[in-house]
Structure 1
Amino acid sequence: MTTVETTHHQMRIGGRDVDTAGKISIIDPSDGSVVATVPDGDASHVDDAVAAAKAAYESGVWSAKTPHERAAIMRAIVGAAREAADELIELEQAANGATIRQATGFHIGYALAHFEYFAGLAETYEWERAAPVSDFPALSQSVVHREPIGVVGAISPFNFPLLLTLWKVGPALAAGNSVVVKPDERTPLSMLAFARIAERNGLPPGVLNVVTGPGRVAGARLAEHPHVGKIGFTGSTSVGREIMRLASGTVKQVTLELGGKGPSIVLDDADLDMAVDGVLFGCFVYSGQICVSGTRALVPRRLHDEFVRRLVERAKTIVLGNTRDFDTDMGPVIDGKQQARILDHIRRAEVDGATVELGGSRPGGEQFERGFWVSPTILSGVTNDMPIAREEVFGPVLVVIAYDDDDEAVAIANDSDYGLAASIWSTDNGRALAIADRIQSGSVWINDAHQINCQVPFGGYKQSGIGRELGPDALDGYTEAKTVQVDLSTGLKAKPFGILLGHAE
């Protein structure tokens, strides 16, 4: 396995390495050490990147290629990235604290598989569609073209730096756009490496640009930039609102994948052993730092105490430790600010009447004295009106809420500002499917969690976002629809304007 040294990684703009006098330190969350530095980019660097992307787009070096040509280059990039997988895995987990198992399977494995899926979409997408011949108000034939937008901005979060960036970059490139990426300033390393891999394997300079820098500066400029026609953003709902506000100045398209407060609904006929493991997986994978995490366990009142007991006993077996060790189940949270925020949420919940059944603090032991660790935490005695049940904690905190019947479970699940993902645990698929139909959520998983399938749309209801990523229609959000109509009528008298101007017989 490659080891990350404390090295400096420059931005990539217009096919060139770009640096700044100021530096941003990249911190390993597992021990608080500085593993790298990157440039402290600002609005001027975003302007340069947008100009490079615009020039590349207008030159046709990428936008004028056929979909099959773009797909071939994208597949070559995937092949080269797979050869560099060890490097990408280490760059990813060194910056965001993912365990080696998670980084290998989810963070990098999913990212490259999904990018390859978008390459395939370039070849199968319906770039032109003929409409039925119309005979009113005149005989005509229309063809709908899907064309690239131009320059696309992608703003991505810390938790899945490469995967969630490629959810935007992949369809944007497949459609023929040029892209400017603003990764989270804490976790830009894997995307910087991917951009260089892409250029070495056929992507023309300027088509993919990466600007590092703080979101409030570089991200804000990208969102408001007049030459950016689309913003794809994944992150918190509060920042998503600001992205919408900034994008509205030029009425650009936005796709927003925002927060969640996922319910895991355990029905009274569930296989409890499966449900316990599934609920814990749904909440604690990657330390709860996933927007689709199932952080609210809704449990029948008569099963509540038994289920909590089982959750606690099973959660005690979760192994925290060295993120490079394949035996480690859970790593740290992203930084000290988030660690303090999570622990404050737990303290507030106790004041509100919740009971800490497990965890609730930094884990004990010398190895956890450095870095940003929070123990797997389970809270009982929670009601859905408490802040701990309504606000996105983004940490390893599971709340257990009792309900009396299916109708109440559905009501609690839907009583949220969010609607991103939910899970249902039952041995009766028909019953579970009927409840799924009533859940206000973009994804509902039955007897599973975190099943992100690139072949189906992903996104949320309510304040969990706008638009959808993934699926066969993923390129829709990165193209414009143009209708071209050919009038098939003959003679001036047969045309609507001829009738209007008095040429009709």
Structure 2
Amino acid sequence: MTTATEVQHHLMRIGGQDVDSGRIMTLIDPSDESVVATVAQGDAAHVDAAVAAAKAAFDTGVWSRKTPQERATVMRRIADAANDAIEHLIELELSCNGATIRQATGFHIGYAITHFSYFADLADAYAWRRPAPIMTFPTLAQSVVHREPIGVVAAIAPWNFPLLLTLWKVGPALAAGNSVVVKPDEHTPLSILEFARIAERNGLPPGVLNVVPGDGREAGARLASHPDVGKIAFTGSTAVGREIMRLASGTVKQITLELGGKGPSIVLDDADLDMAVDGVLYGCFVHSGQVCESGTRALVPRDIQDEFVARLVERAKTVTMGPTRDWDTDMGPVINATQQARILDYIRGAEAEGAQVALGGQALDGPGFWVQPTIVAGVTNDMRIAREEVFGPVLVVIPHDGDDDAITIANDSDYGLAASVWTSDNARGLAVAERIRSGSVWINDAHQINCQVPFGGYKQSGIGRELGPDALDAYTEAKTVHLDLSGGRAAKPYDILLSHAD
């Protein structure tokens, strides 16, 4: 195993400067438990310094007072430079979070750069001034709604898609003219640290994008409660999201929360079973099930349940686990030993409640944090494994007795992030989708994250939406500017309070 003394040490980025802290976090490759790198660990004092740098940059107007078109030009230059560095970014990403090279290339980094470019285009297209209809009562007047940057935005990002989900926050924040402080997950800070340096080399002024790796309980909590932070954007667990809401409430910050999920994959009785089997497995096992919108509950017609489980098992046996840098590998490890143990505990708990493991259900011998692709049958929707987010390669199969029953089971959840419907009848699929309480419903597909439409969840899956044409709304303040056109004192309704002067 490589030792920490033989690997590169990465520093925080605050106010355009590399900053060390005297404390380190060691980054581990989940596939083999080797040490990837060390990184400076920030604390509340470093968060304070980063917020101060962001606020100073905002107040000078070096970024906030550029025209939207000027900001878009710089952001496109950054995206081009990131694309030139894509191989390096891919390696930084998969070395820390266990993604396969196919997934890191297509989703983790490929999507990240494309989506950042989309936010640059939004800066050009966004309605920064929105005139209201001319008023005629009580006086003639015109109002215009201005959309203006909030100030300092805090982005707290997860480990599963470190760069992509960070840029879902950084991109619209920068497009709107804000300054940003990022607290990446302590397991996966390398790709956003590198992106910040790429951004500064390509025209982003120092202090506009700051990155402070650190522990969530210290650095993250300080960001969430900091009085000079006007907006918190967070992706992660529902439990942590609740704590961020509590901390942000002290200064009444704006918040966007993208939280957990327990997505239903609803198979109807007219579905193409070959496509549905592949789609359900894809919906659950991509990135080893470590995706918030994964379809982890397969709702299957009762009379074909046994056949469908048998098909799932045979197809899932073809999923290849192996070195994450091998293009033939389908599925990598989970993030760490704690998560591996947690996933296995859910599986053992399901067995204790009467469910049956039809495939997998075990860890693989190390090194690395591997969990077999697992299919659990005989599940009812009241079992813990059907209620709680496992965040691993575990698919549970629940029988249903027709469309109405399937919809009832799908909606019987604390979550409502994403769902899929599998049917050969488009009209029937659309009718089911209308009744699903979920932020996204994919018909005959899964994991279709499109930057041109909003993404987020109902219920305890979050607050607000990311992506889509209105993505900048969450990173701006609305100011109404009212211009009187009546032409003088006599036309005003002031006599409701004040009599006319002699």
| Local SS of the residue matching 2:447 | coil
- CA deviation map 1:300-325 (0-9, x unaligned): 00010000000000000000000000
| Distance (whole Å) between structure 2 residues aligned to residue 224 and residue 265 of structure 1 | 41
Which residue number corresponds to residue 473 of structure 2?
A: 476
On the 8 A contact 1:492/1:503 being kept in 2, the answer is no
On the 8 A contact 1:498/1:504 being kept in 2, the answer is no
| Distance (whole Å) between structure 2 residues aligned to residue 171 and residue 47 of structure 1 | 23
Does residue 197 of structure 1 match 2:198? Answer: yes
Deviation at 1:74, TM superposition (A): 0.3
Deviation at 1:49, TM superposition (A): 0.1
Does residue 207 of structure 1 match 2:204? Answer: no
| Local SS of the residue matching 2:162 | coil
| Local SS of the residue matching 1:70 | helix
Does residue 128 of structure 1 match 2:125? Answer: no
Amino acid at match of 1:129: R
Which residue number corresponds to residue 385 of structure 1?
A: 382
Deviation at 1:138, TM superposition (A): 1.5
Which residue number corresponds to residue 350 of structure 1?
A: 351
Which residue number corresponds to residue 82 of structure 2?
A: 81
- CA deviation map 1:428-478 (0-9, x unaligned): 000000000000000000000000000000000000000000000000000
Q: Which runs of 5+ in 1 are unaligned?
A: none
Deviation at 1:153, TM superposition (A): 0.2
Which residue number corresponds to residue 17 of structure 2?
A: 16
On the 8 A contact 1:492/1:498 being kept in 2, the answer is no
Amino acid at match of 1:416: S
| Distance (whole Å) between structure 2 residues aligned to residue 502 and residue 353 of structure 1 | 81
Which residue number corresponds to residue 455 of structure 2?
A: 458
Which residue number corresponds to residue 290 of structure 1?
A: 291
1:195-274 equivalences in 2 (<5 Å): 195-274=196-275
| Distance (whole Å) between structure 1 residues aligned to residue 52 and residue 97 of structure 2 | 31
User: Among residues 436, 444, 448, which one is paired with 2:441 in the alignment?
Assistant: 444
- CA deviation map 1:180-218 (0-9, x unaligned): 000000000000000000000000000000001000100
Report % sequence identity: 76
| Local SS of the residue matching 1:290 | coil
Amino acid at match of 2:151: G
Deviation at 1:493, TM superposition (A): 2.4
On the 8 A contact 1:493/1:499 being kept in 2, the answer is no
Deviation at 1:489, TM superposition (A): 1.2
| Distance (whole Å) between structure 1 residues aligned to residue 56 and residue 354 of structure 2 | 59
Does residue 53 of structure 1 match 2:54? Answer: yes
1:318-467 equivalences in 2 (<5 Å): 318-363=319-364, 368-467=365-464
| Distance (whole Å) between structure 1 residues aligned to residue 407 and residue 26 of structure 2 | 45
| Local SS of the residue matching 1:162 | helix
| Distance (whole Å) between structure 1 residues aligned to residue 501 and residue 275 of structure 2 | 75
- CA deviation map 1:265-304 (0-9, x unaligned): 0000000000000000000000000000000000000010
- CA deviation map 1:164-189 (0-9, x unaligned): 00000000000000000000000000
| Local SS of the residue matching 1:250 | coil
| Distance (whole Å) between structure 1 residues aligned to residue 134 and residue 109 of structure 2 | 47
- CA deviation map 1:19-39 (0-9, x unaligned): 011100000000111110011
On the 8 A contact 1:6/1:34 being kept in 2, the answer is yes
TM-score normalised to the size of structure 2?
0.98
| Distance (whole Å) between structure 1 residues aligned to residue 71 and residue 327 of structure 2 | 37
Amino acid at match of 1:360: G
Amino acid at match of 2:455: F
1:159-170 equivalences in 2 (<5 Å): 159-170=160-171
Deviation at 1:490, TM superposition (A): 2.5
Deviation at 1:491, TM superposition (A): 2.6
Which residue number corresponds to residue 277 of structure 1?
A: 278
Deviation at 1:503, TM superposition (A): 2.3
Deviation at 1:415, TM superposition (A): 0.1
| Distance (whole Å) between structure 2 residues aligned to residue 496 and residue 283 of structure 1 | 63
Which residue number corresponds to residue 145 of structure 2?
A: 144
Amino acid at match of 1:458: F
Deviation at 1:362, TM superposition (A): 1.1
| Distance (whole Å) between structure 1 residues aligned to residue 250 and residue 379 of structure 2 | 42
Deviation at 1:137, TM superposition (A): 1.7
| Local SS of the residue matching 2:435 | coil
| Distance (whole Å) between structure 1 residues aligned to residue 487 and residue 88 of structure 2 | 65
| Local SS of the residue matching 2:376 | strand
| Distance (whole Å) between structure 1 residues aligned to residue 19 and residue 493 of structure 2 | 57
| Local SS of the residue matching 2:54 | helix
| Distance (whole Å) between structure 1 residues aligned to residue 490 and residue 84 of structure 2 | 66
Deviation at 1:500, TM superposition (A): 2.6
TM-score normalised to the size of structure 1?
0.98
Amino acid at match of 2:460: Q
On the 8 A contact 1:494/1:504 being kept in 2, the answer is no
| Local SS of the residue matching 1:347 | helix
- 4+ long deviations beyond 4 Å: none
Deviation at 1:504, TM superposition (A): 9.6
- CA deviation map 1:46-82 (0-9, x unaligned): 0000000000000011001100100000000011101
Deviation at 1:487, TM superposition (A): 1.1
Deviation at 1:496, TM superposition (A): 1.9
| Distance (whole Å) between structure 1 residues aligned to residue 408 and residue 338 of structure 2 | 33
Q: Which moved more, 1:129-138 or 1:193-202?
A: 129-138
| Distance (whole Å) between structure 2 residues aligned to residue 82 and residue 47 of structure 1 | 32
| Distance (whole Å) between structure 1 residues aligned to residue 15 and residue 440 of structure 2 | 38
- CA deviation map 1:339-382 (0-9, x unaligned): 0000000000000000000000013xxxx421100000000000
| Distance (whole Å) between structure 2 residues aligned to residue 288 and residue 319 of structure 1 | 15
How well do the aligned residues superpose, as a CA RMSD in angstroms?
Answer: 1.1
Aligned length: 498
On the 8 A contact 1:493/1:504 being kept in 2, the answer is no
